[in-house]
Amino acid sequence: MILTCANMDIDLAADMPVVNILDPFIKDRNISLQVLRLDTVHPVISGNKWFKLKENIRIAQSLQCSSILTFGGAYSNHLVATAAAANYHNFQSIGIVRGLHTAAKLTPTLEQCKDYGMDLHFVAREDYDRKYDIDYLHTLEKQFFNAYIIPEGGNNEAGMKGAAEIAGYIPKDADIVALAIGTGTTFCGLRNALPEHVSMLGFTAMKGGDYLLDTIQQKTTTGNWQLATQYHFGGFAKKDNTLIDFMNRFYRQHRIPLDFVYTAKAMYGILDMIDKNHIPGNTKILMVHTGGLQGNNSIRDLLQY
Ligand SMILES: *Cc1c(COP(=O)(O)O)cnc(C)c1O
């Protein structure tokens, strides 16, 4: 079965929901917290992936490529978003998947990639690690003729340019813009698009996130940003009961679903920093909900939403 992906209009209406998080403990400190619900853009081409992909799709169209090739792990939001976006825009899609999974045991993410017609190629981790290696990319170009190659996570110039458009949906009075970080593409694109007086706070999803400091420094044109690297909950895509309880509680209180890989860790970090008085009073924080909810399909039984 090949699904057809409806509704990825390249030009988006300007009404992306911004919701207030009303919580006495935040209000007592004279802080306001809002969430920009990019997760509502599209159920699969969700959140920041939609923005990072749109410019890439435009380029693939202008180059008249026949297919789009990209990279990802077995739970990758980017991989499935690419499969859906390619489908919608009539490209064949090819996924280079980290690890030698067998077709009998695909993750929900990979099943969905297949449903969108993505041609999955499983490679050993050592080969996957060559994803930025020019010789390896040339081999793939030969193997998949006329394919447009998007790096893992949509981490390229076009991805940053698309992410910059998120700035247009951020309320003008925000003092701090906070979001989850994987490759940093979204963070850098936004940093370069927002006025310098807006502070940016990034929550790294993996352990040892300080390695991103140099990359972000190189890709950004302004300062006034910082990373919070301690809210990884054990590492990338790791979770514990504290995180799961937090996700269920947050949903009960605010009716906003968070994903366990990125947005739950960022939101937990924001609230913890408010609690520990690491955010000054009289501050308006805008959290960008970067989507990624499909990842929760692998922990469905733990969630009450
Ligand atoms: C991919 C993803 C991120 C990370 O985006 P980068 O641009 O790679 O930093 C953050 N949040 C969610 C929900 C994602 O799916």
**What are the tens digits of pLDDT across the range 212-234?**
999 999 999 999 999 999 999 99
Pocket test residue of 75, 186, 288 for ligand 1, highest count of atoms within 8 A of CB? 186
Strand partners, 43: none
Report how far residue 58's alpha carbon sits from residue 222's, in angstroms, rounded to the nearest whole number: 27
Query: Which ligand 1 atom is the nearest neighbour of the CA of 153?
Result: 8
Q: Is 259 in the pocket of ligand 1 (CB under 6 A)?
A: yes
Asked if residue 182 has its Cβ within 6 Å of ligand 1, the reply is yes
Ligand 1: centre distance to CA 204 (Å): 10
Atom in ligand 1 nearest the alpha carbon of residue 159: 7
Rounded Cα distance, 52 and 125, in Å? 25
67 phi/psi in degrees, rounded to 5: -140, 165
Question: Between these two residues, 302 and 105, which has the higher pLDDT value?
Answer: 302
Identify the sign of the CA torsion 193, 57, 216, 277.
positive
Which residue's CA lies nearest to atom 15 of ligand 1? 292
C-beta of 8 in contact with ligand 1 (< 6 A): no
Which is the closest atom of ligand 1 to the Cα of 78?
A: 1
Q: Is 229 in the pocket of ligand 1 (CB under 6 A)?
A: no
The pTM score is 0.94
Taking Cα atoms as reference points, which of 34, 2, 4 lies closest to residue 18?
A: 34
pLDDT in tens, 86-145: 999 999 999 999 998 776 689 999 999 999 999 999 999 999 999 999 999 999 999 999
Tens digit of pLDDT for each residue in 146-196? 999 999 999 999 999 999 999 999 999 999 999 999 999 999 999 999 999
Does the beta carbon of 292 lie inside 6 Å of ligand 1?
A: yes
Of 176, 170, 166, 185, the C-alpha closest to 77 is 185
Q: Which amino acid is at 210?
A: D
> What is the bridge-based pairing of β-strands 32-37 and 18-20?
antiparallel
Find the 34 Cα to ligand 1 centroid distance in Å.
19
Q: Cα 149–155–5 angle (5° rounding)? A: 65
